[in-house]
Structure 1
Amino acid sequence: MTTSALRVGVIGVGFGSTVHIPAFFSEGAQVVAVCARREERAEKAAHDFGVARAFTDYRQLLDMGDLDAVSIATPPANHYEMVMAALEAGKHVLCEKPFALDQGQAMEMAEKASRVGRTAMVAHEFRFAPGRAYVKELLSQGYVGRVQAVHMYLFRGPTERPTRTAPLGAGAAEGGGFLGALGSHYIDCLRDWVGDVSRVCGGVFVHEPNRVDPATGQSATTDADDAFSFVATLAQGGWASMSASSRAPFGPGALLQVYGAEGTLQTPQTGVNPPSDGRVLGARFGEGQGVRELPMPERFRPFVDPRDDRLMAFRILLRHFMKGINEGNSPSPNFYDGYRCQQVLDAIRVSQSGAGWVDIPGE
C-alpha cells in the first residue's frame, strides 16, 4: 500500500473536523467515512469535507470493506471499545489522548495491537512541534550534559471576569479533566526527552466545579480537574516537576525547562498549544553568554499550515503513521508509549488519594 492510497475513517467530528480530517487530506490520504453520535453532525462533516459516507454507529464504519485505518477523535471513555473493535476488524488505528481511562485498558489495547500486527499510534502530536522536537535533538547531542532536572509549567485562564458558567463536560470517571487533556501531552514530551518516570507524587484540583448542563440548561457540578501538579524521579536519574492550571487569570502560557550538568534548554509558548514556529533558548558553559534564543533549523518547521496551530505537528505525526503502515511497524508515539503515559496519569491520582510517592514499574 502507498500512503496516497490510504483509506481512512474518522470517528468523532469535533476535534476530528478541526484537525484530523484536514490533516489526512493534506497528507494525501482519502477520508472515506466519518462517524458521530448525532446524525446531523456526521452529515455536516461529510458535506463540509466531501466525504462519501457518514455513520452514527462506528461498528458500521468498521464493517466497510474499503477501509484501511481509523482515526479515533472521541472522548476518552469511548477509546477502549472502539480501539479494540477496530483492531479486531483488522484496521490500523490512530487514537486521541488521553489514551485510556486507566492503565489496564491501555495495556490491553497495546497488547491487542501487537497481536494483530497493525500500526497503532496515539495522537501525541506535541512532540513534533518545532520547539519540542529541537530540544529533543539538542538533548540527544549532549547540549546540557547529564540531565539533572526538568521543570514544566502551564498556566492559562481568562483575562476578564467570566460572565457565564462554563458548560458541563466529561467527568473524571469518563476521562475528563486537564491532567488527561493536556498533562498527557507533557508527560509524553517528558518521556520523549529524558525517558521513563520511576516514581511520582502529585495531585489534581477542581477550582471551578460549577457548570451548566448544555442539554438541560440546569446548574451542575463537575469533578473533572482543572489543575494539577506533580514531582517525579526519572529512571535515568534526576527529577522532573510540573504545575498547571486552566483557571489561572492572566496566565502567561507554558515554559518547559531542562537543566543539566553543563547547561540549560528552554522552550516557551504563550498559549495552551505549542506554536508552529516555536522558540528554543539555551546556554551552556564555555560559550561566554547567558540564556539566548537558538536559531531554529528549518527542518523542524518544514511547511506552514495557517488553518490551526496544531496542524503542522499533527501532519508530521501522520507521516510517521503512514510510514509505519507501509513498513509494518508502529512508530512512537505508539500504544506502548500511551500505556507508559497512562501509568503516570494513574499514579498521580493514586498519590493524591494518600499513597504519597507511587512507584511506576519498568518494562
Structure 2
Amino acid sequence: MTRVLISGTGFAGRGHAEAFRAAGAEIVGVVGRTREVVEEVAREMGIPHAGTDWQAALETCRPDIVSIATPGGAHYEPIKQAIAFGAHVFCDKPMTADGDTAAELHALAQEKGVKTAYAASFRYAPSVLHAKALVEKGAIGAPTEVECISHFNLEREIPFGWSHRRADGGGRLNNNFTHTLSIVTSVIGDEIVQIAGEVRDDLGRAPIVEGVHNFATRRDFIPRDLDDPSLEWGESDVEWSYTVMARLRSRFADAPVSVLFKHGGLVPRFREDHIVFYGSKGAIYLEGHYGSGALHLHDGKAWQEQPLPAEIAAMVPDVAGETEQCWHHLARAFVRDIRGETVEPYPTFREGRQYQRIIDLIRESGNWTDAPALA
C-alpha cells in the first residue's frame, strides 16, 4: 500500500490525510510544530506516528508520498528534504513564498525523478469540469475572453498570522489567484502569453492573538474589544486586493484569449461572485468565486441553467466541502499515477513554479505609465 506522511496539523493537514485515505493510501505519520497538537491530531485520526522533527519522520515512516499542508512560507525546507529522500510530493498552494525557491524545488524534483502535485485544485469543481467539457465540444465557439470576479468581505479583525505575511506565503494572490488561474488554464489552455497586474494592501494591520492553530477556526479568536490598550498589532505586508489581466493561447481559438482576474478580499459583494467564459458563439457562466456553483449556458439567444452531466456527477468524491472534494480528486489522480495507472494531466510543480514567478511580477506592479507624461 502507498505510504503517506503529512506535514501540517490544521485544516489542510486533516483534509489531505482524509483525501489520501479515500484514494487507498495509508497515512503513516503526521508532523507539526507543537507536540501536544500533533499528538492530539494523530490520536483523533488514528495515525501511528506523531512528531515535530520532519527529517526524523522521513527516516522513521519511509513514505512513498509526502503531503505538504502547512502555510506556503514553511514549504521550502520540508519539500527539499522530501525530494532528497526520494518521496513524491503533494503540495498545497502556494508552492513557496517566491518564484526563485519554487523554481529550485521544481528543478530538484526533476533531477531526482520524483512526481509532484500542486494543489491549486478548484479546477476539479464539478461545474468547472462541466465547463471544460462544453468548451471542448465547441458549445461557445472559439473562446474570446474570461472574467473572474470575487469579493470576499473578510473580517479585518481576523488575528494576525501567516496570511498577513509575504514571507509565510500570505496574500490574496497566493491564496485566491492560484485557484482561479488554474481554473482558467484548465478550461481554456495553459499557455500564458502575457500578464500584467496591480495589488493593494487595504488592511494595514491585524490584532495579535495567541492560540490560533487551525486556519478554518481563526475567526473564533477575533478579539471582542479592539480598543483594549493592551492589545498588540501586527503589520500586514501583502495584498488584500488585486487586478490582473492575462492573455492565454488556446487550441480552441486562433487569437489569444483575454482574461480578467478581479478580487477584493475585504470588500462586500453586491451580485454573486462568478467566472464567465465568453466565445464567438455563446458563453458559460459559473456561479461562485471558484466556479463551484450552478452552470449557465448562453447559446447566442438566452441563458439557461445546465444540469451536471451524469458522468461528471459520478466523479465527484463523496465528501462534504468544496475544498475537500477537490483535494480528494487530485489525491486520487496522484496516487493512481504513482501506481502506474493512466490519468488525466494534473497540476504539478511546473505550474507551482510558473504561478510563483507570475505572482512576483504582479507584486512589482511595474506596468504603470504616468498619464501626465502623455498629455
Same fold (TM over 0.5): yes
1:297 aligns to 2:309 (yes or no): yes
1:227 aligns to 2:246 (yes or no): no
Please point out which of 6, 12, 16 is paired with 2:12. Answer: 16
Q: Residue type of the partner of 1:197?
A: I
Label 1:252 to 1:223 Cα distance change in 2 as closer, same or farther (>3 A).
farther
Please point out which of 345, 357, 361 is paired with 1:347. Answer: 361
* Structure 1 residue 227: Cα displacement: 1.2
Secondary structure of the structure 2 residue equivalent to 1:224: coil
How big is each residue's C-alpha offset from its partner over 1:260-284, in whole Å with a ceiling of 9 and x where there is no partner?
A: 1111011112xx5554xx4211122
Secondary structure of the structure 2 residue equivalent to 1:16: helix
Match for residue 96 of structure 2? 100
How big is each residue's C-alpha offset from its partner over 1:90-139, in whole Å with a ceiling of 9 and x where there is no partner?
A: 10110010112222222222222222121211012201110111111111
Aligned equivalents of 2:346, 2:186: Cα separation in 1: 9
Match for residue 188 of structure 1? 182
Match for residue 263 of structure 1? 282
Label 1:346 to 1:235 Cα distance change in 2 as closer, same or farther (>3 A).
farther
1:338 aligns to 2:338 (yes or no): no
CA contact (8 A) 2:274 2:291 kept: no
CA contact (8 A) 1:282 1:292 kept: yes
Aligned equivalents of 2:145, 2:62: Cα separation in 1: 49
TM-score (norm 1): 0.87
* Runs of 4 or more above 3 Å deviation: 250-253, 272-275, 303-307, 328-331
CA contact (8 A) 2:277 2:283 kept: yes
1:309 aligns to 2:300 (yes or no): no
Residue segments in structure 1 that go unaligned for 5+ positions in a row? 358-363
Match for residue 360 of structure 1? none
* Structure 1 residue 318: Cα displacement: 1.0
* Structure 1 residue 64: Cα displacement: 2.4
CA contact (8 A) 2:20 2:332 kept: no
Match for residue 168 of structure 2? 174
Aligned equivalents of 2:263, 2:171: Cα separation in 1: 12
Aligned equivalents of 2:114, 2:317: Cα separation in 1: 31
Please point out which of 198, 208, 222 is paired with 2:203. Answer: 208
How big is each residue's C-alpha offset from its partner over 1:189-247, in whole Å with a ceiling of 9 and x where there is no partner?
A: 12212222222221111222221112495122212221111111223412110111121
Label 1:202 to 1:24 Cα distance change in 2 as closer, same or farther (>3 A).
same
Please point out which of 84, 87, 90 is paired with 2:86. Answer: 90
Superposition map of 1:69-148 within 5 A? 69-148=65-144
Match for residue 242 of structure 1? 261
* Structure 1 residue 251: Cα displacement: 5.4
Q: Residue type of the partner of 1:319?
A: R
CA contact (8 A) 1:188 1:341 kept: no
Aligned equivalents of 1:252, 1:133: Cα separation in 2: 24
CA contact (8 A) 2:275 2:290 kept: no
What is the percentage of aligned positions where both structures have the same residue? 26
CA contact (8 A) 1:118 1:328 kept: no
CA contact (8 A) 2:142 2:279 kept: yes
Aligned equivalents of 1:86, 1:294: Cα separation in 2: 44
Q: Residue type of the partner of 1:262?
A: K
How big is each residue's C-alpha offset from its partner over 1:12-41, in whole Å with a ceiling of 9 and x where there is no partner?
A: 111234411122222221111001111111
Q: Residue type of the partner of 1:203?
A: E
Q: Residue type of the partner of 2:279?
A: G
* Structure 1 residue 299: Cα displacement: 2.5
Aligned equivalents of 2:181, 2:40: Cα separation in 1: 35
CA contact (8 A) 2:7 2:13 kept: no
Structure 1 vs Structure 2 CA RMSD:
2.2
Moved more, 223-232 or 340-349: 340-349
Q: Residue type of the partner of 1:345?
A: I
Aligned equivalents of 1:68, 1:231: Cα separation in 2: 39
Residue segments in structure 2 that go unaligned for 5+ positions in a row? 211-229, 251-255, 370-375
Secondary structure of the structure 1 residue equivalent to 2:60: coil
TM-score (norm 2): 0.84
Please point out which of 6, 28, 44 is paired with 2:40. Answer: 44
Match for residue 281 of structure 1? 296
